[in-house]
Amino acid sequence: MTEIKFSGFGGQGIIMMGMLVGKAAALYDNRNAALTQSFGPEARGGACSAQLVISNDTVLYPYVTTPDILVAMSQEAYTRFEPTLKADGVLLLEENLVRPHPVEGRRRQYAIPATRIAEELGNRMFTNMVMLGFLCAVTQVVPLAALVSALRDTVPERLVEKNLAALERGHQAGVAQLAGASLSA
């Protein structure tokens, strides 16, 4: 079972990220997935988070308390959820929006300027797709092909190509970081 927390602020496409990984896992990777959003006072300030549980069996309890993977796309999200990440978890950061403290223990941490890359691709709206490609490369939580299929199912036809380009750009960045990390190890 893999528990993923997606977090940031409203408008970053946080929920869409969870939905796409969930669909990829369930429809194209033969697993089960449940996505949960809780609404509380924190949502009023524009904070946004979603929790995805992926399992080979039926998901009985969809809340994520200690995620295996945390995607933090704002400083507030990082501050709030970073302490809940598992000791050997993977942390993915929006490089220009989060200033992290030093990495502790066995945790793996990766950062990507997803917003800037999306803007280079023509629209900040693709930020979440850049991050999703990055997540896919770094964690391999779902195959890239499954994510591409889920994206084609979900996004309006006219936006598919641009979303795919953003996804692939994020994926390349992730692959490059992994290669760099293993070279320097």
| Least distance from its own copies to the Cβ atom of residue 139, Å | 18
DSSP state of 185: -
Stretch of 35-43, 87-95, 103-111, 171-179 lying at the interface with its own copies (CB under 8 A): 35-43
Query: What sign does the dihedral 50-55-59-61 (CA atoms) show?
Result: negative
Residue 100 DSSP one-character state: P
> Look-up: residue for tokens 């946004």?
48
> Is 106 one of the binding residues for its own copies (CB under 8 A)?
no
Q: CB neighbours of 35 closer than 8 A, spacing ≥ 6? A: 15, 18, 19, 22, 50, 51, 52, 62
177 binds its own copies (CB under 8 A): no
Q: Does 39 bind its own copies (CB under 8 A)?
A: yes
d(CA 36, CA 176): 32
Scanning residues 40 to 99, which ones bind its own copies (CB under 8 A)?
40-41, 43-44, 59, 61-63
* CA-based nearest residue to 49, from 25, 31, 76, 68: 76
Number of residues that bind its own copies (CB under 8 A): 26
Distance CA 85, CA 147 (A): 24
Residue 25 touches its own copies, criterion: CB under 8 A: yes
157 binds its own copies (CB under 8 A): no
Minimal distance, residue 21 CB to its own copies, in Å: 9
* Complex with its own copies: residue 13 or 22, whichever CB lies closer: 22
Q: Minimum distance between the CB of residue 173 and its own copies, rounded to whole angstroms? A: 27
Q: What's the token pair of residue 87?
A: 């000791």
> Which residues of the shown chain bind its own copies in the complex (CB under 8 A)?
10, 15, 19, 22-23, 25-27, 32-41, 43-44, 59, 61-63, 153-154
